[in-house]
Chains A and B, each alone.
Chain A
Amino acid sequence: MGDISTQLAHTVAEAYRARTPLKIRGGGSKADVLGRDVEGTPLDIAEHSGVIDYNPAELVLTARAGTPIAEINKLLGEQGQQLPPETPALAGKATLGGSLACNHSGPARPWQGSLRDMVLGTRLINGRGEQLRFGGQVMKNVAGYDVSRMQAGALGTLAVITELSLKVLPRPETTKTLAYSLSAHDALDVMRQRATEPRPLNAACWFEGTLYLRLSGAKAAVESTAQLWGGDSVEQPPWQAIADGELPCLNQAGSLYRLSVPTGSALAPSDSVLIDWGGAQRWVYDQPEIVAAAVSERGHAWLYRGGDRKNETAPPLTRTQRQLHTALKNAMDPEGILNPGRLYSWL
């Protein structure tokens, strides 16, 4: 635990000069999901860890990228606050930097935003080994390009994230989970309908024949909504297990695809093992054709886990999108040494 950013920058600068690829590693919690397998000299970030600044009254937390999400959750919890996206802690292994690089969010994401939405500022090391700082600790900042937020989902192919400042939020006063026995189709209809109502809904998922809705907020509002919506009250809700990917249905053998689609998409409701995010995130096994189908629905699909991870795992891009990706990669990592091929084989 400590500040090893100078050392990290030095290593990257060396690699830049020698043109040797680096494989950036946080806690290793997502090593075999989302991206492709890559070769490279490991660059370990886990040691670059620790909360640097946390001021509950400002709703701002600043921590080094290697800090485990679990540690941050604990600290915030002690002050009655939370990371709004329910960022998965993955058995204590997920780190803050890795979570932003993958933009990994839990079930609250449609209502409370993703880690990308919470970013106020970052410290980064670009592909030349330069230490850069973008944004800061204030809530609003539109000076210059939003290079910080752009790291979300880049899987470390643009820069090494070394520090993050985030907006955090108070924990809701009360939460309550309601369950309903429904088919996937019917559950989707209910989720979509409920999401248009001005009620304190902040999670909606379906798996194994059950729709779960979570209410959270002021006690009176939660109670009155629960009464209005009916359903069975659930004592042991599945949200934590969903966030951490521990549901049995997400851990079967086979190639697991993660779909990010408009909630009205007709894609695979009944084939999905889990529908989350109020219908916007769906999980299916062994359907390679779904990757192209998702694009035509203005969404996308990842080969999340399993399958051929030497081949592409990320959603296909158009020619112009590819050109912009390549240009941006060259602008931040001109020698292509940061996680080359992790996001796309050609990037």
Chain B
Amino acid sequence: MAARYYDPTLPMSEADSDAALPAIDADALITELRNIIPGDGVVVEREGLTPFECDGLMLYKALPLVAVMPRSKAEVQAVVKCCARHRVPVVARGSGTGICGGAMPHPEGVLLDLAKLDSIVAIDPLARTATLQPGVTNLRISQTAAKHGLYYAPDPSSQIACSIGGNVAENAGGVHCLKYGLTVNNLLSLEMLTADGELVRLGSDGLDNPGYDMMALITGSEGLLGVVTEVTVRLLPTPPCARVLLAGFPSVRAAGDAVGDIIADGIVPAGLEMMDKLAITAAEDFAQAGYPRDAEALLLCEVDGTEEEVASHTERVSALLNKAGATSVRVSDSEAERALLWKGRKSAFPAVGRLAPDYYCMDGTIPRSRISEVLEEINDRATAYGLSVANVFHAGDGNLHPLILYNAGDPDSVAKAEKLGSDILSLSVRVGGAITGEHGVGIEKLAHMAEQFGEAELRQMEEIKAAFDPALILNPGKGVPILKRCQEYRALPGKHNHG
């Protein structure tokens, strides 16, 4: 018999029918939490809880039983131990910029806000490392390291706000990950609380890991295996020189082919991003960066390194872009111009957001060689649903971000947007890719995990979850589907449900 997987769209009563946990003694729990965190760090009133009801993906909402805002590692540890004793779900939250519903609260659980743990513990310039509390924002790491001529390479577009703890939990990527790797490639060690509140260090400050590489397992595990309390990252010397090339193309296909040509030529650019016509227009209206409005697609290619290296690579990339049929190629001549050219890209999400009441950002990855084919198919499907899609994405690593424009106030538009989103995920899997490249599964893509993985893989992952968290209290109902028969924990609410 085929297994039934947990379906987040199931009505609550049905999903709830197997619930085996005892009812929570909420009063006792809250009293204990108040003893751990004195002052106003424990919130139970509706107004205080509302800011936590969702992450950056507003399609899914729930209010937690209680939200806590600890100020120290000791408090976090005491909270997790308390939740373990009560067998209450704990959902960790960094900055809440996730866009897969990962930090959405559990209606019968504790929302553990880690934003107040925001100290930079240490920077060691000679060892090129930074040790951080989980709530430190991504951008602050590079800003603080800058005085030593160093920076932290992974740079999600949300870097002003997102936390390093959230970056670890999602294995966040960014424009510069093509050359410098994702979060997982830039970590040295983590300190984590296990589901029963024990502190454990994973990885080491050397380069290799003693025993099993649990740091890799924790990275991208979406708060399901532990609560990260400290992160040591690797810093890199800031390249003395960087230039960005902007190229307009008469078709998406020509731009897609140029991506392959650059990589095949032996150059690994620091960033290689693509935008389609709708995104170009929106970004240009917003940022006035001088993007070619007549182009069907554009590429932004950054090369960095020493002066000589950048000069040589700029020349090579320029020639390749022209050869691939670029209608215009512009090379940044100053830091100001480079910043301007990136401004259009970095503000593309909000810029596209101005075109419609709402947008829904997808995150599939595909083999680079299939970019144009897949974009065409996405467009065809969007047209069939009567929707528009803007594309702005990490072309160098084949990580698409189709932005589906819709109207959240119109149930029909919402349904169509979700259907198109789902089609895009299936399409990514079909061409040999993945349902998520950097945003994570969360609650949003849970149902699609069964497309990406077979039953044996899902069961294996479930066993790994149980190895770390036998009582299933850490962010239950997200990331990895739990086979229905094992679904001990309380169910999550359906969509748009305010707990």
Binding site for B on A (CB under 8 A): 55-60, 80, 103, 109-110, 113-114, 116-117, 126, 130-134, 136-147, 149-154, 158, 169-171, 173, 192-193, 195-200, 217-221, 223-225, 259-264, 277, 280-281, 297-300, 314-315, 317-318, 320-321, 324-325, 327-328, 330-332, 343-344
Contact = CB atoms under 8 A, between A and B. Distances in A.
A331 B469 CA distance: 12
Contacts of B55: none
Contacts of B37: none
A154 B266 contact: no
Among A80, A318, A321, max chain B CB count under 10 A is at A321
10 A-B pairs with the lowest CB-CB distances in the bound complex, closest first: A220-B308, A260-B206, A170-B266, A140-B437, A139-B397, A149-B216, A327-B467, A299-B206, A221-B309, A198-B237
B126 interface: yes
Interface in B143-159: 148-150
Contact of B213 (A58, A113, A149, A300): A149
Contacts of A152: 209, 213, 216
Given A218-B312, A220-B309, A261-B205, A314 B210 contact: yes
5 contacts: A138-B397, A140-B399, A142-B170, A198-B149, A225-B306
A141 B436 contact: yes
Given A133-B457, A143-B436, A332-B460, A300 B204 contact: yes
Interface string B141-183: 0000000111000000000000000000011010001100110
Interface residues of B, number: 95
A113 B216 CA distance: 14
Given A196-B237, A324-B468, A264 B434 contact: no
B199 interface: yes
Contacts of A196: 125-126, 128, 148-150, 237
Nearest to A302: B210
Given A145-B221, A150-B217, A193-B126, A140 B212 contact: no
Contacts of B479: 144
A145 B205 contact: no
Given A136-B433, A264-B126, A324 B480 contact: no
B34 interface: no
Q: Give the one of B240, B264, B312, B460 with max A CB within 10 A.
A: B460
A150 to B, nearest CB: 5
Given A133-B457, A145-B217, A57 B264 contact: yes
B410 interface: no
B207 interface: yes
B211 A153 contact: yes
A262 B313 contact: no
Interface string B260-297: 10011011100000000000000000000000000000
A198 B306 contact: yes
A324 B194 contact: yes
A181 B270 CA distance: 35
Contacts of B465: 145
Nearest to B306: A221
A133 B461 CA distance: 11
Candidate in B181, B205, B453 with the most chain A CB atoms within 10 angstroms = B205
Contacts of B40: none
Given A153-B212, A300-B206, A144 B306 contact: no
A331 B207 contact: no
A140 B397 contact: yes
B464 A138 contact: no
B126 A263 contact: yes
B460 A136 contact: no
Contacts of A142: 170-171, 220, 434, 436-441
Interface string B110-132: 00000000000000111111000
Contacts of B399: 139-140
A226 to B, nearest CB: 12
Interface in B450-464: 452-454, 456-457, 460-461, 463-464
Given A136-B433, A192-B127, 10 more contacts: A60-B367, A138-B434, A142-B436, A147-B217, A198-B237, A218-B306, A260-B210, A261-B205, A317-B211, A318-B201
A263 to B, nearest CB: 5
Contacts of A219: 312
Given A57-B263, A198-B149, A217 B200 contact: no
Given A59-B263, A80-B266, A153-B212, A199 B306 contact: yes
B308 A149 contact: no
A324 B460 contact: no
Interface string B239-271: 110000000000000000000100110111000
B81 to A, nearest CB: 13
Nearest to A149: B216
Contacts of A144: 441, 449, 452-453, 457, 461, 479-480
B336 to A, nearest CB: 21
